[in-house]
Structure 1
Amino acid sequence: MKNWIITHLTKLRYMTGIVSIALMVISISFICIRGLNWGLDFTGGVVSEVQMNSQITSSEIEPLMDAGFKQDVVVIAADEPGRWILRYSVPAKGETYPEITQVLDPLHAQVQVLNTSIVGPQVGAEMASQGGLALLVTMLCILGYLSYRFEWRLAAGALLALMHDVILAVGFFAMTQMEFNLTVLAAILAILGYSLNDSIVIADRIRELLIAKPKQDIEATNNEAIIATFSRTMVTSGTTLMTISSLWLLGGSSLQGFSIAMFIGVLTGTWSSISVGTLLPEFLGLKPEHYLPKPESQDP
């Protein structure tokens, strides 16, 4: 029975590896061809703060603002009850937006515009560069940690799994043209941490088995490591997905992008740590000898 599971698990890992490569190619194609739909955090826009009846909800405000301004207006609850922050793009030359009080008049609430400010594209460009720098620094720190913690073949597998998760999450936003804002970027950084944790758990188990069973095939070692950590991975991923699903359903539109990115990241992180993270070391020729202590020379 065990041999049957190991044999079929190897075939399954190879199949999922091929699927992962195909998904990465598709995602990169969408990113290059369609690009990302950058949010107001990166492109600049108008931010208005309004005060109204505390009984009004965002689900009542959003449809009116979207129809009145002919775009997807971001509605965020402020600290005080009845106070809302509205974010929308700057009108094109020759165009004007209607008054917010007129747009929200069907609510029959006393709407008061407290302030309105414009975020220029220079600020958005600075945020984009800082976000990219944060992502780069995070990847370099992870690369340094993996190089110190594992033999380079295992480290390469974990690093490829990280890249796989980020590319698939970003590719989804490029394919759907959902808004890519700072909250989504924060989710991408969180995905890196989550995927790294999963990959390290399996890589640690592989390293232990390489030392404990040096005569075992690397395919069998990888399969045994996956089986040993499978229940832990499923429990962790399942509870995390339940939390993210609740945030997705109840968090409102302001957290929708973050929730979707995290949901995709947890799924792909679990997938990649089992398939991608174990396949690459096999192809690179990982062997027990790479972790066994080297005999000391007897030469004087």
Structure 2
Amino acid sequence: MNIINRQNLKSLSTLTKARYLSSLASLLIMLSSIAIILVNGFNWGLDFTGGVVTEVKIDPKIKSEQISQLLGQGSAQEVSVISAGEPGRWVLRYAKVDNAATGDIKTVLAPLTNDVEVLNSSIVGPQIGQELAEQGGLALLAAMLCILAYLSFRFEWRLASGALLALFHDVIFVLAFFSLTQMEFNLTILAAVLAILGYSLNDSIVIADRVREVLIAKPKMATDEICSSAVKATFSRTMVTSGTTLFTVGALWIMGGAPLQGFSIAMFLGIMIGTLSSISVGTCLPELLKVKAEHYEVTPISDTP
């Protein structure tokens, strides 16, 4: 029995050191992510900036690189060329709406082929793009406030703060990736960020709930050992859940094509970093804030009127 207890204590000590190291790495990641966003900004998509979306049908033998290069030369800007799901059918997205070269797609693509059919074309005005950006920001803020309210009700503020910081860490990391790579940030990416909030919250709540249970069951146990035992008890569940979800998102990334690429990348990164933050930030911050068993003691109500 003593040998088993010593082995358990040794494994918990090793896990505690791993949590501390991963928390330090998470702190460095978060600070670096904020710096990247402040320096690079975002490559806002047409959903936010306004622009033109045109769907054309041409010779299936013509590749997207040829179309993009020719349109880029003719319009002096980067033109996004996305497959519409059929051979020879493309969706062209470009920002400037006052350029004659992009206005007449047939003329611009004439060196490639004279058989160009414009199926439809739509314009997103700058005002609409600004409204979408504001509404997206409000949606993100509302989601964070609702999560904060739920965590404050569900847990004592020390455990709630760990889960909330883990959420902030995950969102900042994903946003920094798109800022660093300058991939187009559109409404699809915003939807992925909101989905990451929910996924990361789920992991943090499972671990925080386990921490609370151990605190109540073993009030004399050291806080670092309680947090480590909670992580150990939920680790297999976390790995299985995250692993199966990553397989699904990976399949969506590979098979979904260009329209879903940004969404899949954001979800893939969010799931990985969310698993790390739930284990590191989600448990180390409450420990740093001195969470104790008495914080969850039930106060008896006096019968005296």
How far apart are residue 117 of structure 1 and its match?
2.6
Which runs of structure 2 are paired with 1:93-132 in the superposition (5 Å)? 96-97=101-102, 99-101=104-106, 110-132=115-137
In the alignment, which residue of structure 2 is the partner of 1:44? 50
Q: Is the 8 A contact 1:74 1:88 kept in 2?
A: no
Counterpart of 1:26 in 2: which secondary structure? helix
Residue of 125, 138, 158 corresponding to 1:153: 158
In the alignment, structure 1 residue 8 sits paired with structure 2 residue 14: yes
Which runs of structure 2 are paired with 1:254-269 in the superposition (5 Å)? 254-269=259-274
1:34-82 per-position Cα deviation (integer Å, ceiling 9, x unaligned): 11111111111111122457xx49xx5531331122224142527x997
Further displaced range: 100-109 or 145-154: 100-109
Counterpart of 2:102 in 1: which secondary structure? coil
For these two proteins, the number of residue pairs brought into alignment is 294
In the alignment, which residue of structure 1 is the partner of 2:75? none
1:233-280 per-position Cα deviation (integer Å, ceiling 9, x unaligned): 000100111111111112112111111111110011100000000001
In the alignment, which residue of structure 2 is the partner of 1:182? 187
In the alignment, which residue of structure 2 is the partner of 1:250? 255
**TM-score using structure 1 length:** 0.90
Residue of 33, 36, 46 corresponding to 1:30: 36
Q: Distance in 2 between matches of 1:247 and 1:185?
A: 17
Q: Is the 8 A contact 1:61 1:75 kept in 2?
A: no
Residue of 155, 167, 171 corresponding to 2:172: 167
Q: Distance in 1 between matches of 2:21 and 2:114?
A: 58
In the alignment, which residue of structure 2 is the partner of 1:211? 216
In the alignment, which residue of structure 1 is the partner of 2:4? none
In the alignment, structure 1 residue 291 sits paired with structure 2 residue 296: yes
How far apart are residue 5 of structure 1 and its match?
1.1
> RMSD over aligned Cα, in angstroms?
2.4
TM-aligned CA distance change 1:74 to 1:122, over 3 Å:
farther
Further displaced range: 251-260 or 126-135: 251-260
Q: Distance in 2 between matches of 1:298 and 1:124?
A: 61
Counterpart of 2:118 in 1: which secondary structure? strand
Further displaced range: 125-134 or 102-111: 102-111
Structure 2: state its 5+ residue gaps. Answer: 1-6, 73-77
Q: Is the 8 A contact 1:74 1:254 kept in 2?
A: no
TM-aligned CA distance change 1:276 to 1:121, over 3 Å:
same
Counterpart of 2:101 in 1: which secondary structure? coil
Q: Distance in 2 between matches of 1:220 and 1:150?
A: 20
Q: Distance in 2 between matches of 1:49 and 1:26?
A: 39
1:133-178 per-position Cα deviation (integer Å, ceiling 9, x unaligned): 1001101110110011001100000000000000000011111111
Letter in 1 for 2:213: E
Q: Distance in 2 between matches of 1:158 and 1:147?
A: 10
Letter in 2 for 1:135: L
Q: Percent identity?
A: 59
**TM-score using structure 2 length:** 0.89
Letter in 1 for 2:271: V
Counterpart of 1:96 in 2: which secondary structure? helix
Q: Is the 8 A contact 1:158 1:196 kept in 2?
A: yes
How far apart are residue 285 of structure 1 and its match?
0.8
Q: Distance in 2 between matches of 1:121 and 1:22?
A: 37
